[in-house]
Amino acid sequence: MDETLSLGRIGGVRVGLHWSVLVIVALVTVALARGRFPDAHPGHPAIVYWALALLAAVVFLCSLLAHELAHAVVARRNGVQVDGITLWMLGGAARLHSEAPTPAAELRIAGVGPLTSLVAGGVLAGVAAGLDALHVSGLVVEAFVWLAAINVLLAVFNALPAAPLDGGRLLRAFLWHRTGDRLRATRGASAAGRVLGWFMVVTGFAAVLFGRDLSGLWPALIGWFLIGAATAEARQAEMRGVLGGVPVSRVMTADPVTVPETAALADFLAEGPFGQYRHSTFPVLAADGSVAGVLTLRRVNATPAEARASTRVQEVMRPLTDVVTAEPGEPVLDLLPRLETSPVRRALVLDEGRLVGILTIADITRALSWPAVSAPARH
């Protein structure tokens, strides 16, 4: 899930929002402002309901962020690098650079999420009780009661033993410890995720069709997401089983076609360095031979035709800081998560700073059907 808006870094972890987070904010705000709050405490001005509902929605997002940050902190303490956190319509996602090294580490990383939500729910319930004892407005108390309840519900739901929920990670840790086989454990957790997903889809649509309750669409949507995510996780596990221990050098396209950063776009296009590979991305070299970035045909095409003769490659290329880099001996599986979140979705392979190859997700996919690894690749 790619972020739309960056919120910066918290504790060194990049945090961002996906545009779909506006959906959950809108749904929560409307449900509270036009439903729960006026029903429980009528007589207040509409603006009060809406303001408090919006504030509750924002606090709810903060609790989701706390849940994901807990995963990130524990992951780091267990030697797993965290690439970032993205909040979106159905919650949040912490992007881990690699997998947990042991079942015990998996247990700690997964378990801290629901525990954090449960603690948050308890704290908010305590605040609600304290405010009620101080005879604060019942509407404010109601907001804290709702926040406490939603966090406890979040903890319980996430603890269900089905991938990709935290409970699915706990189930995988148990199966991994029991069998000693990470791939088999992932298959079991993914299967449980698909079963839960289909149950939610069926019951959700049943509520809509037979009970005429449109709120059933929400669990059906979540169930559909669980099915897709669990299936994708199973596929990734199969990929890890095949590619485990395979170095980048065996999968990359060696000696890729390059372009100097001082070349004009018109000259670059006139030379037509596409050939049988039909390249769409080209590493860019500086005058001293070092790698400066990459040039994509999308950026070339975005440059007006009349400006290409006076536009240099370095003006439209993506700088090296925007590109994933790897070493030839690096395991492919460690590189895959970074490729999936990269805007270029390609990695430049450098050996002591010297360009030796380029790697795409398509190259990795082709590697699943040996011996196609050595075939010419498209980049």
Residues with a catalytic annotation lie at 68
Nearest 5°: the CA angle 341, 377, 325 is 40
> What distance lies between CA 186 and its chain's CA centroid?
18
Q: Which residues pair with 86 in a beta bridge?
A: 16, 93
Give the three-class secondary structure for 221. Answer: helix
Rounded CA-CA distance 49/59 in Å is 15
CB burial readout 12-33, b (16+ within 10 A) else e: ebbbbbbeebeebbeebbeebb
The CA-atom distances, in angstroms, between 340 and each of 94, 264, 297 are 14, 31, 20
**β-strands 318-319, 291-296 pairing:** antiparallel
Rounded CA-CA distance 315/252 in Å is 27
Rounded CA-CA distance 66/151 in Å is 11
- How many beta carbons lie within 10 A of that of residue 39, not counting itself? 9
Cis peptide before 114 (omega within 30 of 0): no
Cis peptide before 260 (omega within 30 of 0): no
Q: Which long-range contacts (CB under 8 A, 24 or more apart) does 175-178 make?
A: 176/103, 176/106, 177/103, 177/104
Q: Which residues pair with 325 in a beta bridge?
A: 348
Nearest CA to 363 among 228, 226, 249?
A: 249
Which residues are within 8 A (CB) of 134 and not within 5 positions of it... i.e. 6 or more apart? none
H or E element, residue 239: helix 217-243
CB 36, CB 128: distance < 8 Å: no
H or E element, residue 322: none
